[in-house]
Structure 1
Amino acid sequence: MPSRPSPVDPASTEVLRLSPAGRRSRLAATVVVLALTVGGSLVGDDSWFPVGPFSMYSGRADPDGQVDSTRVVGFTAAGEEVRLSGGAVGLRRAEFEGQLPRLAGAPELLELLAQAYADRHPDAEPVVRVQVVQRRTDLVDGEPTGVTERVLIEQDVEGAP
């Protein structure tokens, strides 16, 4: 039968107390973290994470609304569709969706995804066009009732054959 550890006598343990300077530094650190968290929650966005809101988890879909999902695809000269998300280019969908306003203003940035794909897949057919496609699923009582897709942004790749 294993032996049980003997209980520690609280009277025999020495209590170490923080110095006044140590208490002040811990209080200051606590105030800074709380100020960053409150300020980030009030005026921040996803780029402020971890002190700002992470909007992906801040709400829920309306059971009688719509759910949007965005993907990036490339096309070869032969018309084959190539997925340009996830491990294909080293960029996750959530990271990409956060850049949509920037890409809408500068669609030529999509060429960087074609280049990243070419760098990661040197033996693959080159991508000649990149599209950002949004899939919208309509919901009624939380159940999908229809799906539509539309191209949000499109860019031909310069120098592609």
Structure 2
Amino acid sequence: MPLLTATDAEAGQEVERLTPAGRRARLAAACVVLVLLLAGSVWGDDSEFPFGPFRMYSTRADPDAPVVSTRVVGVTAAGEEVRLSGGEVGLRRAEFEGQLPRLVDDPSLLGLVAESYESRHPSAPELVRVEVVQRHFDLSGGQQTGTYTDEVLVSYELDGAA
């Protein structure tokens, strides 16, 4: 049934009202949503969205805590690093970071990254190893101090590597 406008109501058409049970059901549903929003705001995290807040927007980072930057590199036989993240293999850095637990559990997945790189860059030097490296930048007052440390999170030796 279409909604009645003020002119329709003035013309004598009846307005259909909610029953008491209907009002209670709507009030109960509204209360459940409000409780979920409140609980999500207090205890929730990204995985409970839309009832939990996105932490990247609802919190602030310590201006003196290190910042972590993740990159994926291939290593040639000469020991040179070749960047594999940033779209070189069809995946962006954020996509790599989202897969870090899988890569740590199964380093052989890095072999697929190397295959993708080699198919996109057939004339590039052959890779012997693929690594996921995390660089920790030190901050002071929210500014880089110029000091950083690199940590190889996971490494995978490719077949045929010497």
**If the TM-score is normalised by the length of the shorter chain, which range does it land in?**
0.5 to 0.7
Cα distance between partner residues in 2 of 1:55 and 1:159: 44
What's the CA shift for 1:77? 2.1
Cα distance between partner residues in 1 of 2:45 and 2:60: 19
Instruction: Give the superposed CA RMSD.
Output: 4.0
The TM-score normalised by the length of structure 2 is: 0.64
Task: Provide structure 1 residue ranges, at least 5 long, that are not aligned to the other structure.
Answer: 1-9, 14-27
Contact 2:44 2:53 in 1 (8 A): no
Give the match for residue 6 of structure 1.
Answer: none
Q: How does 1:19-30 map to 2 (within 5 A)?
A: none
Give the match for residue 82 of structure 1.
Answer: 82
Give the match for residue 112 of structure 1.
Answer: 112
What's the CA shift for 1:79? 2.4
Change (3 A) 1:52 1:127: farther
Residues 1:99 and 2:96 are matched in the alignment: no
Q: How does 1:5-154 map to 2 (within 5 A)?
A: 45=46, 54-119=54-119, 121-125=120-124, 126-145=126-145, 146-154=147-155
The TM-score normalised by the length of structure 1 is: 0.65
Cα distance between partner residues in 2 of 1:70 and 1:131: 10
Contact 1:61 1:67 in 2 (8 A): no
Change (3 A) 1:57 1:110: farther
Q: Which has the larger radius of gyration?
A: 2
What's the CA shift for 1:156? 0.8
Cα distance between partner residues in 1 of 2:149 and 2:68: 10
Match of 2:108, SS? helix
Change (3 A) 1:68 1:89: same
Cα distance between partner residues in 2 of 1:49 and 1:85: 28
Deviation string 1:54-85 (CA, Å, 9 cap, x unpaired) is 55445332012111111110012232221111
Same amino acid, percent of matched pairs: 58
What's the CA shift for 1:160? 4.6
What amino acid is aligned across from residue 100 of structure 1 in structure 2? L
Task: Provide structure 2 residue ranges, at least 5 long, that are not aligned to the other structure.
Answer: 9-28
Aligned length: 150
